[in-house]
Amino acid sequence: MEKGSLLTLPVLPLRGTLVYPSVIVHLDVGRKPSIEALDMAMLEDRRIMLVTQKETAIKDPKEEDLFSFGTVGYVKQMLKLPNGTFRVLIEGLKRAQVLNYTATEPYYLAEIEVEDDQNIEQDLKADAFVRSILDQFKRYVDLSPKLSKEVYESTVDIEDLGQLTDVVASHLPIRLPTKQMLLEILAVDERAKTLIQVLTDELEVLRLEKQIGQQVKKTIEQSQKEYYLREQMKVIQSELGDKDGKRKEVSDLEEKIETSDMTDRIKEVAMKELQRYERIPQTSAESGIIRNYLDWLIQLPWQTTTTDQLDVTKTARILDQDHYGLETVKERILEYIAVQALTHDLKGPILCLVGPPGVGKTSLAKSVARAMNREFVRLSLGGVKDESEVRGHRRTYIGAMPGRIIQSMKKAGTVNPVMLLDEIDKMSSDYKGDPSSAMLEVLDPEQNYQFSDHFVEEPYDLSQVLFIATANQGQLIPRPLLDRMEVIQLPGYTEIEKQFIAKNYLVPKQLKQHGLTKANLTIRKDGLLELIRRYTREAGVRQLERKIASLCRKAAKVIVENPDEKIMITKTRLEDYLGKPLYRYGQMETEDPIGTATGLAYTAFGGDILSIEVSVVPGKGKLQLTGKLGDVMKESAQAAISYIRSRQAMLGINENFYQTNDIHIHVPEGATPKDGPSAGITMVTALVSALTNKRIRREVGMTGEVTLRGRVLPIGGLKEKTMSAHRSGLTTIIMPKDNEKDLDDIPESIKKDLTFIPVSHMDEVLTHAFVEGD
């Protein structure tokens, strides 16, 4: 390509960029005419005329929109991109000028004149220019964040001044007109001078930029610093504040410890803990643990007592005020207090009140506390099966707490409360240790003055506590505990006693609790009796009290709406208030049954009746037992069959009855499970009846254990059983002769309605149980 040579080349208009000679660039080409121009160039000798649009924004430039000065480029590569545009690699060859366009469709075709650099003598002046440009450019690259060192390094070897100016100019981020201007200067020295000027200007701009940047950065840094400092200050302030808060907390605690009830020893311990508390950071887990511990030490009573009132007459009055009957219990309590008054020593055995629910065990203990002027706390041991429930957890455990004894002491607030250990028979043990051994320590006067709780750690004195235990069933109390206790039985109440208790205690109490007076609500005698007989079935009076409470609630509702209303509850009106009766009373079987005998049972809820049903069908000698039978009852069934086999001739039963029949024994569940050997005679009676078709007298209830040879052995709970028989309307009771002495305990009011038949052998039972003549 000679200077001045005329060529006709396709034209590629450029937007926002230009290509200097000696420079290789990537261009993305998308405009259709441009692509066609490129295609054309590729078909020819790959040369194309590159001219820049004067306005970048124009989409379809006309001839006058294009600079006439441009560069002849050589298309080194053309790559189709997925989006349909082309990426071309073009090397700038020579400056050139469009003379005229020979075609505009489908692309511009122009006649151009190729230009050459002028004044290209490589003299000293040129060297000076080169050095100066490189020098400036280096400084520029050093300052510019956009150009890397490599860019500079790629220029240092260029000796040709013209080429150097083009390469350097191509790297500078200068505006397009300046670039175009540099392109259009053909005289190399002139171009170099202009470039140096441009470089100097650009350097200045860069320097200013940097300066501004630094200032901006400075201000930003400054504000960041301030923010940071302020944040730190906040932390410091809050730390200082917390310190003040903590100091206050510590001094509060100190005062609390000083004024607390602690003994000197415990105070010392507490102060030591407090010092530790002050030292460690509030946020640590340890801190919470110590705080919790200190709170416990502060709140526990250590020395405070109430002054005992040991006045036997007054106590007797209070016990009578609160409870009807229960003479033996009251008597025993009074004795206890009398001994106390004389000896001031609690080392006697612990009273254990045993009886079904609702017979007044809890309320007796409360009365004792009231009479003695002591605090009262109730601690339920039902379901306690883990030693740590009694003794607490070591305080290193998260959420550790003292055991129930210490918790109760905190509730009591004094060191000499009356503590009711409720349901001591319901404690059980598991792999985590036996709670009853811990209870043993609690109850042992030799040890309990320094009871050890895992949480409290310091020995705690329980020696002034008056313990009273309760149990539903005495035989379930762990033996070692039982040895420490004096058991007092509360057997349950007769119907007449219940009436009396309701009238004189429960009704007035409930009226008061519901804000009612006698004038608002009266329960007539027949109403009360119906309530006892057909709305409750219990040995105690708990359900009865609840029913009375529920009557009071209903009445209160009526009274609120109508204050003048006077409510009278009679037998017939009861149903309006409480719904249908829940139990049958005195409605025995209407016929004398075959194969069904009525036994008397003794459960945790007092006495109860149970019926044993037997059916015999031809079969292969299968014995089937259904219903809620305990193991003891299952054995009784086997024993009963053995007994019958030994007596079959006398009883008139087929020799092979147990081989030719299937025998089915069923014990209907009832409300509470029953078990025990005392169903023995009942079982035999039902079996014999079923096998011989003899009718059993429906008014007979029976209880007694039977041996394989038919001897009837004594049983427990005769009083309770008798009372439940009476409740159920039975009139004759067959019982072991050996239990005759127990008849003295049974209230006259009940005895007079019943016929007792003491027996010592099974034969006697059968004689009395069957309907005469059968």
- Positions touching ligand ADP (CB under 6 A) are 323-326, 357-363, 501, 505, 540-542, 545
Q: What SS3 class is residue 23? A: coil
Comparison of 260 and 494: residue with beta carbon closer to ligand ADP: 494
With beta carbons less than 8 A apart as the criterion, state whether 552 and 514 touch.
Answer: yes
User: Which residue has the CB atom at the shortest distance from ligand ADP?
Assistant: 360
User: How many Å apart are CA 432 and CA 470, to the nearest integer?
Assistant: 24
Comparison of 359 and 466: residue with beta carbon closer to ligand ADP: 359
Element (H, E) at 687: helix 680-692
User: How many Å apart are CA 167 and CA 158, to the nearest integer?
Assistant: 9
Catalytic residue of the set 34, 721, 724, 728: 721
User: How many Å apart are CA 133 and CA 135, to the nearest integer?
Assistant: 5
Comparison of 357 and 403: residue with beta carbon closer to ligand ADP: 357
The residues near 735 (Cβ < 8 Å, ≥ 6 apart) are 702, 703, 704, 715, 718, 756, 757, 758, 759
Using omega within 30 degrees of 0 as the cis cutoff, is the peptide bond preceding 106 cis? yes
User: How many Å apart are CA 533 and CA 673, to the nearest integer?
Assistant: 22
- Supply φ then ψ for residue 16, to 5 degrees: 70, 10
Q: Is 357 annotated as a binding residue?
A: yes
- As given in the structure block, the two tokens for residue 326 are 């229960």
With beta carbons less than 8 A apart as the criterion, state whether 26 and 75 touch.
Answer: no
User: How many Å apart are CA 38 and CA 222, to the nearest integer?
Assistant: 55
Minimum gap (Å) between residue 752 Cβ and ligand ADP: 22
The residues near 448 (Cβ < 8 Å, ≥ 6 apart) are 441, 442, 461, 462, 463, 465
Q: How far apart are the first and last CA of the chain?
A: 147
Q: Is 392 annotated as a binding residue?
A: no
Q: Is 356 annotated as a binding residue?
A: yes
The residues near 22 (Cβ < 8 Å, ≥ 6 apart) are 92, 163, 166, 167
Asked if 721 is an active-site residue, the reply is: yes
User: How many Å apart are CA 622 and CA 291, to the nearest integer?
Assistant: 69
Comparison of 251 and 513: residue with beta carbon closer to ligand ADP: 513
Minimum gap (Å) between residue 612 Cβ and ligand ADP: 30
Q: Is 145 annotated as a binding residue?
A: no
Comparison of 336 and 505: residue with beta carbon closer to ligand ADP: 505
Q: Which of 707, 766, 714 lies closest to 736, judged by CA? A: 714
Residue type, 733: I
DSSP E strand stretches across 384-453: 418-422
Minimum gap (Å) between residue 632 Cβ and ligand ADP: 26
Element (H, E) at 447: none
Comparison of 362 and 724: residue with beta carbon closer to ligand ADP: 362
Asked if 94 is an active-site residue, the reply is: no
Minimum gap (Å) between residue 512 Cβ and ligand ADP: 12
Minimum gap (Å) between residue 488 Cβ and ligand ADP: 12
Minimum gap (Å) between residue 541 Cβ and ligand ADP: 5
Comparison of 541 and 750: residue with beta carbon closer to ligand ADP: 541
Minimum gap (Å) between residue 416 Cβ and ligand ADP: 22
Q: Which of 704, 678, 677, 675 lies closest to 768, judged by CA? A: 704
Catalytic residue of the set 34, 678, 689, 724: 678
With beta carbons less than 8 A apart as the criterion, state whether 404 and 439 touch.
Answer: no
With beta carbons less than 8 A apart as the criterion, state whether 3 and 114 touch.
Answer: yes
The residues near 730 (Cβ < 8 Å, ≥ 6 apart) are 588, 598, 609, 699, 700, 701, 754
Sign, Cα dihedral of 675, 677, 681, 687: positive
Q: Is 362 annotated as a binding residue?
A: yes
With beta carbons less than 8 A apart as the criterion, state whether 698 and 732 touch.
Answer: no
C-alpha R_g of the chain: 55
Comparison of 360 and 736: residue with beta carbon closer to ligand ADP: 360
Comparison of 147 and 487: residue with beta carbon closer to ligand ADP: 487
- As given in the structure block, the two tokens for residue 678 are 């005392």
Minimum gap (Å) between residue 294 Cβ and ligand ADP: 36
Q: Is 213 annotated as a binding residue?
A: no
CA 651 to chain centre: 65
Q: Which of 275, 280, 279 lies closest to 254, judged by CA? A: 275
Minimum gap (Å) between residue 363 Cβ and ligand ADP: 4
Minimum gap (Å) between residue 367 Cβ and ligand ADP: 9
With beta carbons less than 8 A apart as the criterion, state whether 757 and 636 touch.
Answer: no
How many helices (DSSP H) and strands (DSSP E) are in the chain?
Answer: 26, 22
Q: Is 361 annotated as a binding residue?
A: yes
- How many residues does this entry show for the chain? 774
Comparison of 542 and 634: residue with beta carbon closer to ligand ADP: 542
Annotated active-site positions, please? 678, 721
Binding residues for ATP: 355-362
